[in-house]
Amino acid sequence: MSVSKDDASLKSYCFFKTRIGWCGVVSSKKGVLRILIGLPSRERVIRKIRAEFGSGITKTHAKGNIADKIKRYFSGGKVSFKCALDWSFLSPFQQKVLKAAMKIPYGTVESYGSLAKKAGCPRGARAVGGALARNPFPLVVPCHRIVRGDGGLGGFSAGEGLELKKKLLKLEGVG
């Protein structure tokens, strides 16, 4: 993701612990910029946020709509993750793929190829995988629900990778 560190003062972050691990949310005036989930320590969350957004970013308390929804989700609740997202740094293709992925219902999976068709790129399963690998909004954009055409898990770049993807799918009653 290429978000400018120059205007870090316009961004804020919070972090919090869940059953699955530590999470963080970075926001701008336009909405959520980045969600980090399932990391092993709060230090790891802070390090990742500062590496991406610089040290001038403002820390806030882990209160608010999206943090509460993430906590509820990891406690087993079925949650609607509707919230304002800051799409400004994503390419039109990435936006199209991520918006298509947002429509995949809780407790279901879809293949990379199927999502590629829905995103208007019928032979673009690999390109879709690349866009999902850079998904800055895991859970809100449920990229963990995308699997290979043969039913294999495929990849997952959030948290600690495929182990987290397995936990998320199990939490939703899949697999």
| CB of 16 closer than 8 Å to CB of 71 | yes
Count of residues in the chain: 175
Q: DSSP assignment, residue 141? A: B
Contacts of 123 (CB under 8 A, 6+ apart): 116
Instruction: Indicate which residue of 14, 23, 121, 143 is catalytic.
Output: 143
23 an active-site residue? no
Q: How many CA atoms lie within 13 Å of 147's alpha carbon, on the beta-carbon side?
A: 16
Q: How far, in Å, CA of 4 to CA of 131, rounded?
A: 20
Contacts of 28 (CB under 8 A, 6+ apart): 10, 11, 86
Positions marked active-site: 143
